[in-house]
Amino acid sequence: MARLCAIGAGLTAAIAGGSAARAEDKAGAVALFREAGALIDAGQPARACPRYEESLRLYDSSNTRYFLADCYERIGKMASAWAHFLEVAARVRASGDRAKEAKARERAAAVLPKVSRLTVVVGAASAPGLEVKRDGTPVGAGQWGVPMPVDAGIHVVEASAPGKRTWTARVEVAPGGATSTLVVGPLEDDPASGDAGGAGAPRRTLALVTGGAGVVAVGVGTALAFAARSTFDESSAFCNGDRCDRRGMDIRDSAVARANVATVVFGVGLAAIAGGGVLWLTAKSPAKGASIGLAPAVGGALVRGSF
Residue 225 vs residues 131, 254, 259, 266: alpha-carbon distances, Å: 27, 12, 5, 9
Q: Give the Cα separation of 106 and 116 in Å (integer).
A: 19
Residue 134 is classified by DSSP as E
Residue 9 vs residues 70, 71, 95: alpha-carbon distances, Å: 19, 20, 19
Residues 132, 159: contact at Cβ < 8 Å?
yes
Task: State pLDDT tens for residues 61-81.
Answer: 999 999 999 999 999 999 999
Task: State pLDDT tens for residues 90-104.
Answer: 999 999 999 999 999
Position 200 pLDDT exceeds 90: no
**Mode of pairing for the β-strands spanning 116-121 and 148-150:** antiparallel
pLDDT recorded at residue 218: 75
Position 170 pLDDT exceeds 90: yes
Classified by CATH at the fold level, domain 116-281 comes out as Immunoglobulin-like (2.60.40)
CATH class as words, domain 2-113: mainly alpha
Query: Could you tell me which residues come within 8 angstroms of residue 293 by beta carbon, excluding any fewer than 6 positions away?
Result: 185, 186, 188
Position 290 pLDDT exceeds 60: no
Residues 32, 51: contact at Cβ < 8 Å?
yes
In the chain, which ranges are continuous DSSP H helix?
2-16, 23-41, 45-58, 62-74, 78-94, 98-111, 203-234, 246-281
For the segment 157-184, the average pLDDT, to the nearest whole number, is 94
Q: Give the Cα separation of 186 and 220 in Å (integer).
A: 16
pLDDT recorded at residue 154: 96
pLDDT recorded at residue 197: 45
Domains 2-113 and 116-281 share a fold: no
Position 8 pLDDT exceeds 90: no
Q: How is the chain split into domains, by residue range?
A: 2-113, 116-281
Position 256 pLDDT exceeds 90: no
Q: Please state the φ and ψ torsions of residue 198, each to the nearest 5 degrees.
A: 65, -120
State pTM to two decimals.
0.58
Residues 62, 307: contact at Cβ < 8 Å?
no
